[in-house]
Structure 1
Amino acid sequence: MESIEIQPWLFRVEPLEGESLSHFLGRFRQANELTPNRLGKMAGLGGAIARWEKFRFNPPPSPQQLEALAVVVGVETERLQEMLPPPDVGMKLEPIRLCGACYAQSPCHRIEWQFKTATGCDRHKLRLLSECPNCGARFKIPALWVDGWCSRCFLSFKDIVKWQKTTLP
């Protein structure tokens, strides 16, 4: 009897507007019950997925790496590229930052919040938060955001807008 190789099927996850690659990869992995290493193995990328989820883009993903990931996650390579910082923009790896007003409109981590040049949300003119205003816990990497709330006290990210201060013009 001939052996047939069974291809795994995966749930598709649609990227959200402005979403960071870290958050998208976390949502995709959660929907498909994958670890970073398993997703990396499926795409032939090794440990790159774990690095990218932590905003470690040095070296940046190559076009070949993005193509390999695109095949597995079912998203166009160009769309994955949009989830990365522009080539001339530095990234702030820590702390993870968040705008509660943006999150209430679209529940995702936006890549622009991690730009070194970002101090506030351009849309809402609010300062970005890097820790829960209720309990002081630092926000985890977006790939680990499961339900959109603080991992320690369960305060919803949508509700933190009450604690955000306005930015100066």
Structure 2
Amino acid sequence: MEVGEINPWFFQVEPFEGESISHFLGRFRRANELTPTGLGKAVGIAGAITRWEKFRFNPPPSRQQLEALAKVAGIDADRLEQMLPPAGVGMKMEPIRLCAACYVESPCHKIEWQFKVTQGCQYHHLSLLSECPNCGARFKVPALWVDGWCQRCFLSFGEMLKWQKPS
């Protein structure tokens, strides 16, 4: 009996509206028990996953790379492209920023929070947080957000809302 090529299968993860590629990649990797390197090898773009999770888009993802990732992730390449900054929009790689009010409504990191031009949340008219208001810990890259709370003191992102100031 001859065994044909075995194609791997992956658990699908539905993207949130406005979700950053970093957050989506972290959720997809955890659902499939993959490291950034493991996902990069599965997609055929070793190294790129780690860069994208840290908002490093130089060089920007190519259409071919997005299509390869889309095939593995089971979503459309155009949907992945929406998780990236628009052409010409600069990214703020550090600090990672958060609107607690948005997170309560949709538990994900929004790509727009990391745009250099973003000063505050345009929906809630609140300043963005860049560290835990309780203990001062800087937020980790969104790919590492698992439970929606500070990695040091475990204050939930939703509870941080009371510390956000009007922008």
Q: Shorter-chain TM-score: what band?
A: over 0.9
Q: Which residue of 1 aligns with 2:70?
A: 70
Deviations 1:146-168 (A, max 9, x none): 0000000000001111000001x
- CA shift for structure 1 position 64: 0.4
Query: Taking structure 2 as the reference length, what is the TM-score of the superposition?
Result: 0.98
Query: Taking structure 1 as the reference length, what is the TM-score of the superposition?
Result: 0.97
C-alpha separation in 1, matches of 2:76 and 2:146: 24
Q: Which residue of 2 aligns with 1:138?
A: 138
Deviations 1:100-138 (A, max 9, x none): 000000000000000001110000000000000000000
AA aligned to 1:99 is C
- CA shift for structure 1 position 7: 2.0
Q: How many residues align?
A: 167
Structure 2, gaps ≥5 residues long: none
2:10 partner SS: coil
AA aligned to 1:69 is L
Percent pairwise identity: 72
Aligned alpha-carbon RMSD (Å): 0.7
Structure 1, gaps ≥5 residues long: none
C-alpha separation in 2, matches of 1:5 and 1:61: 29
- CA shift for structure 1 position 39: 0.4
Q: Which residue of 1 aligns with 2:163?
A: 163
C-alpha separation in 2, matches of 1:46 and 1:32: 17
Tell me which stretches of 4 or more aligned residues in structure 1 moved more than 4 Å. Answer: none
> Where do 1:4-153 residues align within 5 Å?
4-153=4-153
2:28 partner SS: helix
